[in-house]
Amino acid sequence: MIAVIVPAHNEEAHIADCLKSLIRAAGHADLAGEHVEIIVVLDACTDATGARARSLGAMTIDVAARNVGMARRAGSAMALSAGARWLAFTDADSVVAPGWLAAQLALRADAVCGTVAVEDWGGYGERMRRHFELTYTDEDGHSHVHGANLGVSAQAYAAAGGFTGLETGEDVAFVEALKHSGARIAWSRMPRVVTSVRPGFKAPGGFGATLKKIEALRLWTGAETAVPA
């Protein structure tokens, strides 16, 4: 069984698009009918995120951590107790490609770090789009870590100790733990995920926060200033 874990805090506006994309990915022919369980971790939600997730067939679990690391950890524990052999992670404001899960598994690694793309730059406009294109490495062998595009085998997850209770940077810390445990990590652009650049981002040190800092400090450049992973 494959499990997909989606942490969510008041994501009623985005969760349906995310889950519909995951359902398509779960039905990919290359998975040969293997069951895919989608788990939405409702972290202190006070809106209709849970109801919308369940209406689309996702399992839900409630936590009150207001902490994405703890949310990912709780969802992972639920998946592992149900017998998952592979854990895939994305975010509630992201949409995965139909071949997302199949691409992760095809790499035959202990863990997979994918890249992200942006289709709608919203209020950031052309300057941020240009900055991103010049400074972000969307190719195999990249060094980015995104919680919105991450996969790991059950064995490698356990060997690395799982996610820690970090409010932000939990994905980077986890990948560092995977490295120290000796996991074989594929750094690939093949598992495709489109993420959002909404101003109301949830992770204080994540992708959305990085873009806001670039905008606030007017750090748009050519090639010399990179968008951090």
Structurally, the chain folds into a number of domains equal to: 1
157-201 pLDDT, tens digit each: 999 999 998 888 999 999 999 999 999 999 999 999 999 886 665
Could you tell me the pTM of the whole model?
Answer: 0.88
Inside any domain, residue 227: no
Inside any domain, residue 13: yes
Inside any domain, residue 51: yes
Give the helix/strand (H/E) hosting 152. Answer: strand 150-153
Q: Mean per-residue pLDDT for 3-21?
A: 97
Q: With a cut of 50, say whether residue 129 has pLDDT above it.
A: yes
Residue 22 to residue 228: CA distance in whole angstroms: 26
User: Mean pLDDT of all residues in the chain?
Assistant: 90
Structure tokens that stand for 31 in this block: 């998975």
Neighbours of 13 (CB within 10 A): 15
Q: Mean per-residue pLDDT for 70-82?
A: 98
Structure tokens that stand for 45 in this block: 């939600």
Q: Mean per-residue pLDDT for 211-215?
A: 61
Q: What is the DSSP string of 36-100?
A: EEEEEEEES--SSHHHHHHHTT-EEEEE----HHHHHHHHHHHHHHTT-SEEEE--TT-EE-TTH
Residue 201: its pLDDT value, please?
Answer: 55
Residue 98 to residue 112: CA distance in whole angstroms: 17
Residue 88: its pLDDT value, please?
Answer: 99
**Local structure of residue 83 (DSSP, 8 states):** T
Percent of the chain with pLDDT over 70: 86
Q: Is pLDDT larger for residue 217 or for residue 106? A: 106
Neighbours of 198 (CB within 10 A): 15
Cα distances (angstroms) measured from residue 21 to each of 56, 97, 98, 179: 11, 7, 7, 30
Inside any domain, residue 135: yes
Structure tokens that stand for 193 in this block: 């995920």
Inside any domain, residue 145: yes
- CATH number for the domain spanning 35: value is 3.90.550.10
Domain residue limits at 64: 2-216
